Amino acid sequence: MVRSLAGDGAAYAGLLRKLQTHLRAYYLRRLGRAADAEDLLQETLIAMHSRRATYDPSRPFTAWVHAIARYKLIDHFRRTKRRAEDPLDDPDILFGSEEANAAEAHLDVERLLHRLPAKTQKLIRDVRIDGLSTAEAAAKHGLSESAVKVGVHRGLKTLAGQVGDDT
């Protein structure tokens, strides 16, 4: 999205193609009718396009997309006088389960990790993302096990604090 905002059309097309899969599934599940879902999907893509300047690159992209998708869904219910029966508030619904594609979330995680010192980054990557045990990570970095635990814990706490500040 950042490259799209800078005017990179190819990156933008790739992004929209990826999003359309998520959005189609999101609307299909809530509307049931494929034609309605497709209409709403297109409307959402156009809205995202014409209002793309409202995306703030310092905030998670997924949250921005979800907010627009949700707004368009509610708008659709309002126009068709139907009540929304299912919980609309959970951002995980859009990006969480299906298509098993964590690419966007992955991007958010990467950017957050880069805010940490290099050593802490490595520890969190090894233990929390690549799935090494504490002992393995300790051996790899020549640290004691408790130093690894403390490092990971502090790093995550810092990140949690920063994410919290964004709201």
Q: Which residues bind other proteins (CB under 8 A)?
A: 4-10, 12-13, 16-17, 20, 24, 38, 41-42, 45-47, 49, 51-56, 59, 63-64, 66-68, 70-71, 75, 167
Of the pair 14, 117, the CB lying nearest other proteins is at 14
Packing angle between helix 145-166 and helix 134-141, nearest 10 degrees?
100
Picking from 62, 146, 137, 134, the residue whose alpha carbon sits closest to that of residue 104 is: 62
- 65 CA to centre of own chain: 9
Of the pair 55, 116, the CB lying nearest other proteins is at 55
Of the pair 75, 136, the CB lying nearest other proteins is at 75
The least distance separating other proteins from the CB of residue 156, rounded to whole angstroms, comes to 22
The least distance separating other proteins from the CB of residue 116, rounded to whole angstroms, comes to 23
Q: Could you tell me if 73 and 80 are in contact, meaning their C-beta atoms sit under 8 angstroms apart?
A: no
Packing angle between helix 145-166 and helix 103-113, nearest 10 degrees?
110
Q: Round to whole Å and give the CA distance between 136 and 103.
A: 27
The least distance separating other proteins from the CB of residue 65, rounded to whole angstroms, comes to 8
Of the pair 42, 144, the CB lying nearest other proteins is at 42
